[in-house]
């Protein structure tokens, strides 16, 4: 199938769809990165199950996607004929959701003769901190007058945990990642042990503020070792040992608060240590512009503070994705599409099919 060429006027509208996991999201952005509308349909079906069920997620995306696109266009006071580019997540993620969202986008692209661009979900998270630049800095970036590269990005979410050197749009060098659980997975599993809700991150952060972070001597996996890989499985196991004596009985609230605080402190200590190593490695051959973070767990204030602390120690600026763009969202998909178009003007590609795995090392400008 032939690709439709991407040739955008100075103020196009971008329609973006995100459906990689358990939320269906749609957004309309201008060429300047202004968000005209962003709507999300959250899948509450998974809440009582304590995690995402792929089959349920796929069915929910199928029901939500078309009406959400229609309502997003209405909310933006925009007609489909005004859209100049349609972008959708094509990986990585749950294949059912990826197929639904990208098929909707491709269908609109073909019917309305609008270019289509497939977006890597991880790339979108890594580029999302740039959205938080000041207005004049964002304008300078999009016009090519501000150089933001290279920078060091930390992606922390329920499915991903990695440190990436961003040399330019489309050029990413992974420096480290998790060797077992992702950081978000660790938060979710510890929260489940403590009898808290899902997703676990917000619950643990709230209770951690009320507990004693030194109450339990939890391990700091890989801290002090070379490299910038992460490991959270042992930390999760250590938490389980702290509550074994209660043998499925209700845990005292004071204990839950202290474990939450101790766990969060252990995680932030690990993050700070790994970030220190990553900065040292990156600085050997690159003049870093700043440290950045994105992904759902990047909403956590303690983790943000830990990264900002290590950035300040190294005389580097710190940039975090806006909290509304930390969980999966369509704004970051539109923003990534806009940056790829601005910097490389790539053609839309129908040849790229949705995929559950799409490592950054396989990224290329299409």
Residue 28: inside a domain: yes
Report residue 45's pLDDT band, with 50, 70 and 90 as the boundaries: low
Confidence of residue 361 (pLDDT cuts 50, 70, 90): confident
4 in any annotated domain: no
160 and 295 both lie in a single domain: yes
Phi, psi of 79 (to 5 degrees): -95, 155
Nearest-angstrom CA–CA distance, 223 and 83 = 49
> How far lies 307's CA from each of 80, 152, 204, 255, in Å?
41, 11, 19, 28
Q: Is the pTM of this model over 0.75?
A: yes
Report the DSSP pairing between strands 13-18 and 83-91. Answer: parallel
Is the pLDDT at 224 greater than 90? The verdict is yes
Do 24 and 108 have their domain in common?
Answer: yes
Q: Which helix (H) or strand (E) holds 206?
A: helix 200-208
| 293 vs 171, higher pLDDT | 293
**pLDDT above 70 covers what percent of the chain?**
91
Q: How does 82-109 read in b/e, with b if 16+ C-beta sit within 10 Å?
A: ebbbbbbbbbbbbbbbbbbbbbbbbebb
Whether 158 and 199 have beta carbons less than 8 Å apart is answered as yes
266, 178: one domain: yes
Q: 111: which residues sit within 8 A by CB, 6+ positions away? A: none
Residues 120 and 217 in one domain: no
**pLDDT on residue 201:** 94
Is the confidence at residue 85, as pLDDT, over 50? Answer: yes
> Do 259 and 207 share a structural domain?
yes
Give the residue from 77, 83, 84, 174 showing the smallest Cα distance to 123: 174
Condensed to tens digits (0 to 9), the pLDDT of residues 143-185 reads 888 899 999 999 999 888 999 999 999 899 999 999 999 999 9
Q: Distance (Å, rounded) from C-alpha 223 to C-alpha 236?
A: 15
Q: Which pLDDT score, from 0 to 100, does residue 50 have?
A: 67
Residue 188 is encoded by which pair of tokens?
């979710």
Place of tokens 């474990």: 259
236 plus 307 within the same structural domain: yes
11 or 97: which carries more pLDDT confidence?
A: 97
For residue 351, what pLDDT band results from cuts at 50, 70 and 90?
low
Its domain, for residue 174, covers: 147-323
Query: Are 310 and 272 spatial neighbours (Cβ–Cβ below 8 Å)?
Result: yes
Looking at the structure, do residues 164 and 244 belong to the same domain, yes or no? yes
**Helix 183-193, helix 233-243: angle, nearest 10:** 10
Tell me, yes or no, whether 3 lies in a domain: no
Most confident by average pLDDT, 244-248, 339-343, 357-361? 339-343
| Domains contained in the chain, number | 2
Is 50 exceeded by the pLDDT of residue 7?
Answer: no
Domain identity same for 289 and 157: yes
Whether 6 is in a domain gets the answer no
> Is residue 352 domain-resident?
yes
The burial class, CB within 10 Å (0-12 / 13-18 / 19+), for 209 is middle
């Amino acid at each position: 199938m032939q690709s439709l060429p991407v040739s955008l006027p100075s103020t196009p509208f971008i329609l973006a769809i995100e459906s990689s996991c358990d939320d269906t999201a749609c957004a309309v952005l201008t060429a300047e990165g202004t968000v005209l509308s962003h709507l999300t349909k959250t899948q509450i079906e998974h809440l009582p199950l304590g995690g995402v069920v792929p089959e349920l997620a796929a069915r929910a995306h199928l029901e939500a996607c078309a009406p959400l696109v229609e309502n997003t266009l209405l909310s933006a006071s925009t007609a489909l004929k005004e859209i100049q580019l349609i972008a959708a997540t094509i990986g990585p993620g749950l294949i059912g959701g990826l197929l639904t969202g990208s098929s909707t986008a491709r269908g609109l692209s073909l019917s309305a003769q609008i270019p289509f661009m497939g977006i890597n979900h991880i790339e979108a998270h890594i580029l999302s901190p740039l959205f938080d630049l000041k207005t004049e800095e964002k304008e300078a970036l999009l016009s090519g007058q501000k150089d933001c590269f290279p920078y060091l990005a930390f992606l922390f979410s329920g499915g991903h945990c990695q440190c990436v050197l961003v040399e330019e749009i489309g050029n990413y060098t992974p420096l480290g990642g998790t060797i077992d659980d992702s950081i978000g997975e660790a938060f979710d599993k510890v929260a489940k042990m403590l009898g808290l809700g899902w997703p676990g991150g917000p619950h643990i952060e709230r209770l951690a503020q009320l507990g004693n972070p030194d109450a339990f001597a939890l391990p700091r996996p890989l801290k002090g070792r070379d490299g910038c890989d992460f490991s959270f499985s042992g930390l999760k196991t250590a938490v389980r040992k702290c509550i074994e004596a209660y043998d499925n009985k209700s845990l005292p609230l004071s204990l839950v608060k202290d474990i939450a605080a101790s766990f969060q402190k252990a995680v932030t200590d690990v993050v700070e240590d790994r970030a220190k190593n990553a900065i040292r490695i990156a600085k050997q051959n690159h003049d870093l512009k700043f440290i950045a973070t994105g992904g759902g767990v990047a909403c956590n204030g303690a983790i943000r503070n830990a990264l900002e602390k290590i950035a300040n120690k190294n005389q580097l600026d710190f940039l975090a994705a806006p909290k509304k763009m930390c969980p999966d969202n369509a704004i970051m998909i539109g923003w990534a599409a806009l940056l790829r178009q601005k910097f490389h003007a790539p053609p839309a590609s129908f040849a790229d099919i949705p995929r559950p795995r799409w490592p950054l090392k396989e990224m290329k400008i299409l």
